[in-house]
Structure formats: structure tokens, C-alpha cells
Amino acid sequence: MTTARLDAYRDVAPKGTIEFLRCLAARVRGRSFLHVNSARHGGGVAEILHRLVPLITELGVDARWEVIKGNPAFYTATKAFHNALQGREQTITSQMLDDYVSTNRACAERLSLEADLVLIHDPQPAPLIESRPTNGKWVWRCHIDLSSPQRRAWRLLRKYVSKYDAAIFSLPKFAQRLRIPQFLVYPSIDPLSDKNRELPKAEVDAILERLAVPRDKPTLLQVSRFDRFKDPIGVIDAYRIVKKHNDCRLVLAGGGADDDPEGAAVLTEVREAAGQDPDIHVLELPPNAHLEINALQRAATIVLQKSLREGFGLTVAEALWKGKPVVGGVAGGLAVQVIYELTGYTVNSVEGAAFRIRYLLNNPDLIAKMGNAGREYVRREFLITRHLSDYLTMLVLLTQ
Amino acid sequence: MAPVTGKEKSVRERAEMPFEFVGCIELRQMLGIRVETERQLANFLKLMPLDCVYYHTHGSLLRHRYRAGMYSNDFATWAAIEVRDRVLGERLAVLDPLDCETLTDLRDSIIAVIEDHLRPMTVVPRVVHGEPFSFIESHIVAVPTGVKVDSLVDFRRTLSEVEDSTVYYHALEARVRLKRKQNDFSAWLKDGLGLPGLAAKVKALDPYTGGLERVRGQILAYCDEVLAKGYDL
């Protein structure tokens, strides 16, 4: 993966941003900033750290990124923990808890945890706080939806989180009752990554041809894993209502479901619901299909994210960045990104989604207008440059 | 060549004290309180720190106008959009934060509007389908840009290039939290460059209905007018 230099963002970030970042960084030049998470590759956190850490370093801050590693039992335990914290029914055994804590203890001995500011990402490495050195501020960065966690799971995690100097959440509704300061930082997309960079029309055409998605009629797209919370069946139902009046295609694109038994079941249901309709395309894409997702989003007429439950939902920011209006559910961070009648529509039902899709298809000028508005909105609020300034500000405030 | 007047001379002068552009950035701290009724909004607002009042009123200008909402402060936007009580939304929206000398005054005015609105009601409006109101506190960090100017030409050119937060810092932060009597731009134009007419026009600009970009655009237009005429407005 190649990483972009800060100056490469000059043409995509808001006016004056790069100079501003340099001035902000001058206040913390030479300080050390350590990030710790549980995976070097795969997942949104690793994706953004690959980009952020070199940019922080370029700005004169001594930035490092450490990763905790464990055996399969550790990953089983953290997966169960992760699911329970996001509100799913999940049993957490004493053995799982032991694996979770002992792995963190072993990692703490191996890793160098000295820094002026240490940002621990997500629940997996949270117990590292038990091994914090004397100096430095420790902040827990939560990327997941903690709005309705299983109480036992949260009680276990809370024991560690409450020992941090502060916590960061992506939305106010994810915040918890804690005695430490809780900050709000939205996640971000990288406009220069393969998933979001500009693509020539010929490249988009070639990728869609490879995916066997014709470009002969308006295309509706939902990019998400095959999960009931993303309501793919509801999306198909909405498409069928639209189809009575507006000829269009529907593309449902998501990650493979090999390691997720529930995902495989949902994928089967989706294929059954799609039936033999040649205008519905169900695409299983590998985790690294960034260019394919980029091309699909650029080729789409309207992007859907009809989730019933959602984290922040950065696929919406990705679509808005490509100038597409989004019809989305009222869940997680969707309402922060889908601004009603400006960047798209939030809807509460299949019928609502169908109505808004039809409305947009019959008002192409509005599609263009919302697309432009959405791109400018993302430029200001959801690009990596804004994320970078938030973290630098945290460094200024907490380590002064 | 036109005769040189006193006013024209003052435009071309360089200020003894240069204007230093300072940007800022905001870190948002969630206070862990979410309310669902208008009564709770008023009651909890009484207990919140003044930096929270600042965040939900003046601070909304630091956010993109879409996220800030169509009204001039978060309380009005929440009442109108989430509670669907347009009457309270309108009453809160019309409050001019710069009419209040202090943030305490501003908080009292907001609470008074809500309580006055609720007095004749038998049922307190609440969120049914919308989002609760989350109280957030603002931490502003000043970021000196290192750019100093001492002439109107340089001031105009730099103002057109700086990041939005710089406009915010000099137009609002300086006046509201740093308690300077007027915004930094008008103070310097008047005292530094001796342009009281231009300074008065800049001081009168209302950021709350048009946003920071409009304020910047209007200042630039006024500067152009002065530079074209060669004398103060």
C-alpha cells in the first residue's frame, strides 16, 4: 500500500487546510504519539492508521503504531466480546476472559508503550491500561457502536476504560456513563486511497464490464456485508416498488461470507429474493476489492444504505464523496451524513426508500445538486485531513 | 492623476501594529447528558458549563452549515427538527447571540424563551421519532498561522486565502470568549489602518444567518471598494 504525502491532499482538502495542519503540528512537534490496535491489515481501523500515522510523522510528531497479537483463542474471545458490546446475544465464558486478559498482559511485556499520548483503539487492547508506564496520557478510542451493549460485556470493559485519561467515541449516542472526559471524533475516509481516488471513466467501464454489470439504465447500489442489520431484503423490496414505474438496476455488493455462518444464510436469502431478475446483481467481493467498490459507487445513480442498525456507516461518506445522493436508514451515523433534502434522504421504511428513490430518478437535476452538496460536505467533515487535525488537537490539549 | 486626499493617504499607510492571522480548532467533549423533552432541555441547560452554551450557539458556525442545521443554534434546530416543535424552533432561532454581553446572559435568554413557550402548555413536547439532545462542550485551541500583514492590500489577499477557522477566530472567538469589545478585523481596520468607515461595516456583519464564508466574502468586497475608491467608506 502506498501512502500519500500531505501535499497530495492540497487539491482535495478545504482551502488552507495543509498550511493550518502544519501550524497546528508546530505546537506539538517532537512529542510522541503511539497508536495500538489488534490488526495490521483488514478492517477500517487498520486502513485509516496506515494512512494517518505517516502523515502525523511527516508533520514532525514522533508517531508509532503497535499491534497486539494473540492465539486463536484470543481472537475468538475478542470476537465474542465485540459482538456482545454491539448488542448481540453472545456468551462470554471465564476462559474467554482469561484469554483476553492474559494475551494483553503478554503483549504489554513485548511492546514499548512509552509515549506522550497513547491511543488504544477498540476493546481488544483495552486491558493494556493495566501496564501503563508512569508518564503519558492514555486515551481509549472506540470505533464500534456501543449504544446498547450487553450489560455484562460492558461491565467487564468498563473496568479498564474507566482507568484511561479520556475516551473518544464516533457519535454522542455511542458514549457511556463514565467519569473520564469523553470526546467526539468522527471517523474519516481517505480521498486518495484506491477506494476513493478519482477513476477515469474508461477504468470504471472496464471494471463494471468485468463484474458483468451493464450501464444501460439507472443503477441503485448498496455496498455492505450480507447482514440482516443492513436490510438487503428491504432494499430488494424497495427496488421492486420503484421498478413498476422506473426501469433501473439494483446492485448489492458485499464482502464474502465464508467465515460468517449468518452471513452465508443471509446471502442465500438475498439470492432467493432476487430470483431470476436479470436487473438484480448480487456481488460477493473479496475484502481488498477497493477499486471495484470505487467503480461501482462512481457508476451508481443513487446509493442506498438502508440499514436498520449501523456503526458510523462510512460507505455513505464514500458515496457522497463521489457525488452520489444517498437514501439511508435512520441508524448509527447515517443521519450525520445523510442530511435530509441536501445530501439525500433518511427513510424509515421500505416504502419510504422506494418513494425517495423514485423521486430522485424523476428529478435528475436534484441528483446532480445533492451530489455536489454531498461532496462538499464530505470535503469539510469526513476527510482524513479533518481526522488528522482532531488527533493533533487531542495531542495539544492533553499533553500541554 | 487624481489629487491625493487625506482619506486616500490613510488607505495606503502601513499599520504600526501588523494584523496577525490566527486560526483555531475545536475539540468536542460530550457531557454524557441526553434529554428528550423541552423541559429537560431547559432544566439541564441551567447546570451545563458555559463552554457548552458556547458550543451549541456560536460554535455551530465552526461546523459545516449542513451539520449545523438550518437554524442559528443547536437548541432551535433540535426543537424544530427532532421534537418537531417549529414554534419553539423559530423563537430560539431569532435570538441574536451577540446581543448578549456574556454567555451567562445568553444561557438565561435561551432558558427564558423555552420556559415562556412551555408555560401555557399542558403537555411538554418531547422527541418521539427524532434524536435526543446531547450536551457537548467546546474546547478551542488557537493556532497562530505566523502570517502578519500591515496593509489593506495584504490583509485582503491573506483573508481570501486563510482557512475558515481563521475567520471564525477573529470574528467570534475574540469577541465572545476572549471578551474583546469588537471583532479583531474591525478593531485593526479602525485602529491600525485608520479606516473607521470600513471597520463599522465589518463590525455590523451578521455571521449567524449567512455563515463564515459570507462574512469573508463581504469583508473582501468592502476592502475592494475601499481599494478601488482610494478612501474609506
Residue A397 sits at the vertex; the CA angle it makes with A393 and A398, to the nearest 5 degrees, is 115
* Cβ atoms < 10 Å from Cβ of A247: 11
Question: Closest chain A residue to B143 measured between Cα atoms?
Answer: A24
Q: Which pLDDT value is given to residue A9?
A: 96
* Helices and strands counted in chain B (H then E): 14, 2
- Best mutation target, A17, A18, A23, to test chain B (most B CBs within 10 A): A23
Nearest to B66 among A184, A185, A339 (CB): A339
CA neighbor of B132 nearest in space, from B35, B29, B33: B35
Q: How many CB pairs under 8 A join A and B?
A: 86
| A45 vs A387: CA distance, rounded Å | 12
Q: Which pLDDT value is given to residue A257?
A: 46
Same domain as A138, residue A101: yes
Interchain proximity A339–B163, CB inside 8 Å: no
User: For chain A, how far is it from start to end, CA to CA, in angstroms?
Assistant: 34
| B46 vs A16: CA distance, rounded Å | 38
Q: Identify whether the C-beta of residue A131 lies closer than 8 Å to the C-beta of residue A103.
A: no
C-alpha cell at B65: 452549515
User: Is A165 near chain B, with CB under 8 Å?
Assistant: no
The minimum CA-CA distance between A179 and chain B, rounded to whole Å, is 9
Pick the more confident residue, A272 or A145: A272
Nearest to B163 among A16, A381, A390 (CB): A16
The Cα-based distances of B15 to B68, B229, B232 in angstroms read 37, 19, 15
Q: Which pLDDT value is given to residue B23?
A: 93
pLDDT over 50 (residue A134): yes
* Cβ atoms < 10 Å from Cβ of A209: 11
A29 burial (CB, 10 Å; 0-12 / 13-18 / 19+) is: exposed
Nearest to A172 among B63, B134, B164 (CB): B134
User: Is A366 near chain B, with CB under 8 Å?
Assistant: no
CA neighbor of A343 nearest in space, from A332, A365, A327: A327
**pLDDT per position as a tens digit, A80-104:** 888 899 888 888 899 999 999 999 9
Same domain as A156, residue A109: yes
Interchain proximity B23–A173, CB inside 8 Å: no
Q: Identify whether the C-beta of residue A251 lies closer than 8 Å to the C-beta of residue A370.
A: no
Same domain as A272, residue A146: no
Q: Identify whether the C-beta of residue A294 lies closer than 8 Å to the C-beta of residue A285.
A: no
**pLDDT per position as a tens digit, A290-338:** 999 999 999 999 999 999 888 899 999 999 999 999 999 988 899 899 9
User: Is B51 near chain A, with CB under 8 Å?
Assistant: no
Task: Answer whether residue A233 is part of any domain.
Answer: yes
| B181 vs A30: CA distance, rounded Å | 37
| A274 vs A222: CA distance, rounded Å | 14
Question: A234 lies in which domain range?
Answer: 201-381
Percent of chain A with pLDDT over 90: 81
Same domain as A207, residue A167: no
Long-range contacts of B72-79 (CB under 8 A, 24+ apart): B72/B97, B72/B208, B72/B209, B73/B97, B73/B110, B74/B133, B75/B41, B75/B45, B75/B110, B75/B114, B75/B133, B78/B41, B78/B133, B79/B38, B79/B41, B79/B125
Task: Answer whether residue A194 is part of any domain.
Answer: no
| B202 vs A80: CA distance, rounded Å | 59
Q: Which pLDDT value is given to residue B202?
A: 94
Interchain proximity A393–B145, CB inside 8 Å: no
Give the number of domains in chain A.
Answer: 2
Same domain as A388, residue A348: no
pLDDT over 70 (residue A261): no
User: Is A46 near chain B, with CB under 8 Å?
Assistant: no
Question: Closest chain A residue to B25 measured between Cα atoms?
Answer: A393
Nearest to A381 among B64, B134, B141 (CB): B64
The Cα-based distances of A367 to A253, A329, A342, A358, B200 in angstroms read 22, 18, 10, 11, 42
* CATH for A125: 3.40.50.2000
* Helices and strands counted in chain A (H then E): 14, 12
Nearest to A343 among B66, B139, B165 (CB): B66
C-alpha cell at A294: 470505487
- What is the residue extent of each domain of chain B? 7-23+142-229, 30-137
Q: Which pLDDT value is given to residue B2?
A: 45
Bridge partners of B26, per DSSP, are B140
The Cα-based distances of A26 to A29, A390, A396, B2 in angstroms read 5, 15, 10, 47
Residue B45 neighbours by CB under 8 Å, 6+ apart: B53, B75, B107, B110, B111, B114, B135
Predicted confidence band of residue A44 (pLDDT cuts 50, 70, 90): confident
Q: How much is the ipTM here?
A: 0.88
Same domain as A207, residue A150: no
The minimum CA-CA distance between B6 and chain A, rounded to whole Å, is 36
User: Is B233 near chain A, with CB under 8 Å?
Assistant: no
Task: Answer whether residue A85 is part of any domain.
Answer: yes
Interchain proximity A389–B25, CB inside 8 Å: yes
Same domain as A230, residue A184: no
| A337 vs A316: CA distance, rounded Å | 7
Q: Which pLDDT value is given to residue B67?
A: 61
Interchain proximity B29–A20, CB inside 8 Å: no
Interchain proximity B27–A397, CB inside 8 Å: yes
Dmax over CA atoms of chain B, in Å, equals 74
Bridge partners of A269, per DSSP, are none
| B192 vs A15: CA distance, rounded Å | 27
User: Is A369 near chain B, with CB under 8 Å?
Assistant: no
Q: Which pLDDT value is given to residue A145?
A: 86
Same domain as A393, residue A367: no
Averaged pLDDT in 10-residue chunks for chain B of 233 residues: 48 83 94 96 97 93 72 92 94 89 94 97 93 94 93 95 91 78 89 93 86 92 94 88
Nearest to A20 among B28, B139, B143 (CB): B143
Q: Is the dihedral of CA B8, B9, B14, B19 positive or negative?
A: negative
Nearest to B25 among A183, A373, A393 (CB): A393
User: Is A343 near chain B, with CB under 8 Å?
Assistant: yes
- DSSP assigned state of A253: E
Same domain as A184, residue A276: no
B7 burial (CB, 10 Å; 0-12 / 13-18 / 19+) is: middle
Residue A377 sits at the vertex; the CA angle it makes with B222 and A350, to the nearest 5 degrees, is 140
Nearest to A23 among B139, B144, B161 (CB): B144
Which residues on A lie below 8 Å from B30 (Cβ)? 169, 172, 175, 182-184
User: Is B128 near chain A, with CB under 8 Å?
Assistant: no
User: Could you give the angle at which helices A72-85 and A94-110 cross, rounded to 10 degrees?
Assistant: 110
pTM here is 0.90
Question: Closest chain B residue to A177 measured between Cα atoms?
Answer: B32
**pLDDT per position as a tens digit, A176-189:** 889 999 999 999 99
Bridge partners of A255, per DSSP, are A285
User: Is A174 near chain B, with CB under 8 Å?
Assistant: no
Same domain as A241, residue A146: no
* Residue the block writes with cell 488607505: B11
Q: Identify whether the C-beta of residue A394 lies closer than 8 Å to the C-beta of residue A117.
A: yes
User: For chain B, how far is it from start to end, CA to CA, in angstroms?
Assistant: 21
Same domain as A367, residue A236: yes
**pLDDT per position as a tens digit, A144-173:** 888 889 999 999 999 999 999 999 999 998
The minimum CA-CA distance between A139 and chain B, rounded to whole Å, is 13
Question: Closest chain A residue to B137 measured between Cα atoms?
Answer: A183
User: Is B20 near chain A, with CB under 8 Å?
Assistant: no
The Cα-based distances of B14 to A47, A198, B1, B154, B190 in angstroms read 50, 46, 22, 10, 13
User: Could you give the angle at which helices A72-85 and A151-161 cross, rounded to 10 degrees?
Assistant: 110
Strands lying side by side in the sheet with A137-141 = A62-67, A32-37, A117-121, A137-141, A166-169, A182-184, B19-35, B133-149
User: Is A23 near chain B, with CB under 8 Å?
Assistant: yes
* Cβ atoms < 10 Å from Cβ of B229: 12
CA neighbor of B19 nearest in space, from B175, B130, B146: B146
Same domain as A387, residue A300: no
